[in-house]
Structure 1
Amino acid sequence: MKRILVAVILLISIHKMSRAQTADDAYKIPLVNVLGQIETLFSVSITFKPELVSGIIVPYGEWKIDPTNLEYSLIHILAPFDLTFHQIDLRKYEVRKYEYARNSIYYGKNQLNRLSSAYQNQSDWEERKALLKACFLETLGFPQILHNPILSVFKSDFRKYKRYSVENVALEIFPGVYTTGSIYRPIGTKKKNHPAILSPNGHFANGRYGNDQQIRNAMLASMGAIVVSYDLFAWGESLLQFHEDDHRTSTAAKMQLIHGVKWLDYLLNLPEADSERVAVTGGSGGGSQTLMLTAIDDRIKVSAPVVMVSSHFSGGCPCESGLPYHLCGQRTNNAEVSAMAAPKPQLIVSDGKDWTRTVPNLEFPFIQRIYGFYDADSLAVNAHFENEGHDYGVSKRGAVYTFMAEFLELDQKKHLQGNGSFDESFITIEEEDKMKVFGVEGEKLPKHAIHGLDALVEILMEYSK
């Protein structure tokens, strides 16, 4: 009798488990179907690559949809599969593989709200800023490296053009390690002291040899500044020492900021440079450098990050975000890094077709609030180009020229046309070979120059002790 009773109980248990399993199976829905339900419920369009979602089954798929919150629903459903989403426009979203450096606008809003609640006045903010700066320097391994002197300077091919000159220059910043660039100077001016401007280039075509980069530097020089444009790490002439794959490394993130600091050391040691009028401006990856250099180097007085400020994107290349300084202070972002410039004049240039499209309504109010702690609201400026995309084109350059002229006391009058635009027609676009410091084939590269990332990492470890 006992055996029969045990058997009956076992059958009942199995039946219940079977029914429960059947119920569970009924709640398992293909991800494609869940996304379709979200589209219908919220009247949006969700795009994705078929191979990204193929075969994915979402347990309790319908239950995970919050009918009051689209973004929360997407996070809840996609995150277990290492997927995320991005808002393309008001009613269009895209499912993508998770990227550590790229988040949703929803995420950016929430993070800025959290950060805003952490400081209510200048004292709170200064404490936060000091914490972030110290963490940045530690993460970059900079405290010791910043004080190392430039070991040697190599110059070649001085050229003179209308209103400005160009010279190829390389700095030996560690034994056998060079950063290469072009220095633009004003000519035909009676002024003895000139502002110094760092001009890091981004991942635009041809780097520092690109037309837009050359035009910007030549114009700022002709307006009265000394400008240096220098190669990204493992780009341009840096490829004489390193492989192009070395660019997409965390070492590149460190080296590019070291380059900026050392070029500033060099410029400010020139007798004609005015240490009180120092600026930095770059676009895209150059914008990332602009933000970080301004945050860590107090010598910079004016900044203009172009098409890079964002609360939800911190740079798609490891050369920008490969070191975890965005994890400092229990997580920061480029909008907060931008705010670290306060109360120094800063022009934030954004456009409507990349990750900076949210700047006018999201990031800029956050940044301007922090400038308000210093009663310096007017010193934070946003130039937004809604119908433009990701570049450092003519309209963006014009905004930067005007801003730099105001805060660096540059002469823009002779360059302005009747319609208010700038005349850049006098500028000579140089061939790439002419801009190379070490010769067309690198034949002038010193024999003791190191080669390879491993050799560089050994040097960095030694200098960081």
Structure 2
Amino acid sequence: MIKAMITCFVAFSLLSAGFAQRSDDQYRKPLKEVLTALEKRYGITIKYQEEQVKDKWLNYATWRFRADVDETLKNVLAPLDLKVNKEGDKKYKLKEYEYYRWEVKDGWDYLDQLASQYHDQASWEKRKAAIRPELFQALKLSPLPEAPSSKPILTKKRTFDGYSVQNFALEIMPGLYINGSIYRPAKAKKKNALVLSPDGHWGDHRYRKDAQIRCAMTAKMGAVAVSYDLFAWGESLLQFESTDHRKSLALTVQTLGAIRILDFVLASGDIDPERVAICGGSGGGSHAVLMTALDDRITLSIPVVSLSSYFYGGCPCESGLPIHASAGGTNNVELAAMAAPRPQLVISDGRDWTAHMPEHDFGYLQTIYGYYGKQANVANVHLPADGHDFGYSKRQPVYEFLAQHFKLDTKGLRSEAGEYDESGCTVERKEALYTFGTNGEKLPAHAVRGYENLEKLFQN
């Protein structure tokens, strides 16, 4: 009796002291074993790579099982930052959980909630005034860092059919450079339209054939086009590792770089300040939306295959800082609405997160533009059979929108059927678009190198 009482007292004391359960008391199982159990119980197939499940364990695994297979999969995988995509009847594929991608209806509902805060131009302007300063704060650009006094580094111009190309490097903070190329019309005017041309995460970025063609055609139509590198891509790799692109300051550097480029090009005196556009695809589209929300010097915006109320941008260079927490919370479509009443063309397709643009998000944009009586200034070209690229089917409406609003000259560039002839554009090898030489030998000696040194610039 006494022995039993002692045993009970000890057990009670351990529980009262918050004695933690041992790992084997938590029904801890390897994830691979749990996936096998799921397949057997629900008659499904889950595809995965071995490295996705290696060394991953789950506590109370079977306690998370429910009657509904989809609910069960969420319960099991969410604690491990994993999810599945459905690929057919009872077929699933394991993926990393995407915090930046919501269910379609969730995105729509949130946009509706945001829209309930304003109902006319005055209330919308009040909302914009609350969002913008918090964007700058989230970007670590409030106040803007002082611009270096150094002059832009420029290469010799290369002349082609109807346009020229000149590479540049701008020092945007001490030792921090952004590089790109300027495409100018052969017959430049005293005041030319300007198109900033950031790009997304497609291979070879701004050196790609379609990226060069788009800038060359823009110049042939009579506008100055400026193409520039993503952070830790292109010549930025002379200063940083490619893995640094997926760190939060990528968003800050790319935004500051675009602001400095605008400063530089507008100071040249040959740009019409009433005709300043930004046009980018994918991550470059997210960049275009953000820049237009931040900078009133941009008078026209074209985000391509990027804009969605249920997608926040899958790279830290789009969503790696809390810009979407600004003014109590926002999303990319509300940020795009900050362009109003400035002309804006949204190009969407049927095979990515822009697939539902005409069904909900575009109607929201039309409402905001309607507050200014400028509903005709916002347009959507939706290509349901297209995928996530910047092919000719996307470039054509870009050319048309720029020509319409900036009064550019397309004479000699279009067939009788209205198709644009891009054959007169020269696609250069990527080394020709470098400013610092083929092997980076011209990079200034004081250039910042390494992400840890970049962080120090923002700590001062």
Q: Give the TM-score range, shorter chain.
A: 0.7 to 0.9
Shift of 1:148: 2.7
Which residue number corresponds to residue 3 of structure 1?
A: none
Q: Residues of 2 paired with 1:74 and 1:258: CA distance?
A: 42
Task: Give 1:421 shift.
Answer: 1.2
Partner of 1:11: none
1:234 is aligned to 2:241:
no
**What is the alpha-carbon root mean square deviation over aligned residues?**
3.1
- Quickly say closer, same or farther: Cα 1:80–1:261, change in 2 above 3 A: same
Shift of residue 78, structure 1, vs aligned partner: 6.1
**Deviation per CA, 1:361-382, whole angstroms, max 9, x where unpaired?**
1221122221122222111111
1:312-323 alignment runs, 5 A limit = 312-323=310-321
Tell me if 1:260 matches 2:262. Answer: no
Corresponding residue of 1:178:
177
Query: Mean alpha-carbon deviation: is it higher for 340-349 or for 142-151?
Result: 142-151
Moved more, 88-97 or 156-165: 88-97
Structure 1 residues 230 and 127, CA gap change in structure 2 (3 angstroms): same
Cα deviation digits, residues 172-201 of structure 1 (max 9, x gap) = 112222111100000135x32101111112
Per the alignment, do residues 50 and 392 of structure 1 end up closer, same or farther by CA in structure 2, a change over 3 Å counting? closer
How big is the shift at 1:97? Answer: 3.6
Q: Secondary structure at the match of 1:375?
A: coil
For 2:342, the equivalent position in structure 1 comes to 344
| Aligned residue number for residue 6 of structure 2 | none
Structure 1: distance between partners of 2:305 and 2:337: 16
SS of 1:113 mapped into structure 2: helix
Q: Give the Cα separation in 2 of the matches to 1:36 and 1:375.
A: 59
List aligned pairs for 1:129-140, cutoff 5 A: 129-140=128-139
Residue 110 of structure 1 aligns with which residue?
109
Per-residue deviation, 1:109: 2.1
User: How many residues end up aligned between the 2 structures?
Assistant: 427
Report the Cα offset of residue 60 of structure 1: 7.2
- Given the superposition, is the C-alpha separation of residues 85 and 60 from structure 1 closer, same or farther in structure 2, using an over 3 Å criterion? closer
The within-5 A match list for 1:33-112 is 49=48, 57=61, 59=63, 61-62=65-66, 79=78, 82-84=81-83, 96-112=95-111
User: Residue 156 of structure 2 aligns to which amino acid in structure 1?
Assistant: D
Describe the superposition over 1:192-251 as per-residue Cα deviations: whole angstroms up to 9, x where unpaired: 210111111211121111111100101101111111101111111111111111111111
Query: Quick one: structure 1 residues 376 and 224, their matched pair in 2 at CA, closer, same or farther if it must change by over 3 Å?
Result: same
Question: Structure 1's 265 and 87: CA in aligned 2 closer, same or farther, altered over 3 A?
Answer: farther
Match of 1:422 among 400, 420, 423: 420
Return the offset for 1:124: 2.1
> Alignment partner of 2:199: what SS?
coil
Q: Note closer, same or farther for the CA distance 1:420–1:87 as it changes in structure 2 (3 Å cut).
A: farther
**What's the % identity of the aligned pairs?**
43
Paired residues of 1:287 and 1:308 also in contact (CA < 8 A): yes
Name the counterpart of 1:127: 126
The whole-number CA distance in structure 2 between the counterparts of 1:247 and 1:404 is 31
User: Normalized per residue, which structure has more helix?
Assistant: 1
Paired residue secondary structure (1:368) = helix
Q: C-alpha distance in 2, partners of 1:244/1:148?
A: 25
1:292 CA displacement: 0.6
Pairwise CA distance, 1:317: 1.3
User: Separation in 1 of the partners of 2:397 and 2:85?
Assistant: 29
Q: Is the 8 A contact 1:347 1:382 kept in 2?
A: yes
Is 1:437 matched up with 2:424?
Answer: no
The DSSP-based 3-state class of the residue aligned with 1:198 is strand
Does the 8 A contact of 1:150 with 1:262 survive in 2? Answer: no
Note if 1:161 corresponds to 2:151: no
**Alignment match, 1:450:** 448
Check 1:93–1:288 CA distance in 2 against 1; reply closer, same or farther (3 A cut).
farther
Greater shift in the superposed pair: 304-313 or 369-378 = 369-378
Per mean C-alpha deviation after superposition, the further-off stretch among 389-398 and 108-117 is: 108-117
| Post-superposition CA distance 1:256-285 (Å, at most 9, x none) | 111111111111011211111100001111
Matching residue within 276, 279, 292 for 1:281: 279
Amino acid at match of 2:134: C
Gapped regions of structure 1 (runs ≥ 5): 1-24
Report the AA paired with residue 427 of structure 2. I
What is residue 13 of structure 2 aligned with on the other side? Answer: none
Instruction: Report what 2:219 is aligned to.
Output: 221
Contact 1:150–1:173 (8 Å) recurs in 2:
no
Deviations 1:122-167 (A, max 9, x none): 2222222221111110111213226535532111131011110000
Local SS of the residue matching 1:145: coil
Q: Which residue number in structure 1 is paired with residue 395 of structure 2? A: 397
Distance 2:362 2:72 in 1: 28
User: What secondary structure sits across from 2:143 in the alignment?
Assistant: helix
Cα deviations across residues 57-115 of structure 1 (Å, max 9, x unaligned)?
4547446x59xxx8x89867865664456677999986644222122213212212222
Question: 1:128, 1:213 → 2: CA distance?
Answer: 35
The amino acid that maps onto 1:441 is: N
CA shift in 2, pair 1:308/1:87, >3 Å: farther
The TM-score normalised by the length of structure 2 is 0.84
Counterpart AA for 1:299: R
Query: Does the Cα contact within 8 Å between 2:35 and 2:46 map onto a contact in 1?
Result: no
Query: Which AA in structure 1 matches 2:147?
Result: N
Residue type matched to 1:344 in 2?
A: R
Partner of 2:292: 294
CA 1:142–1:327: 2 relative to 1, 3 Å? same
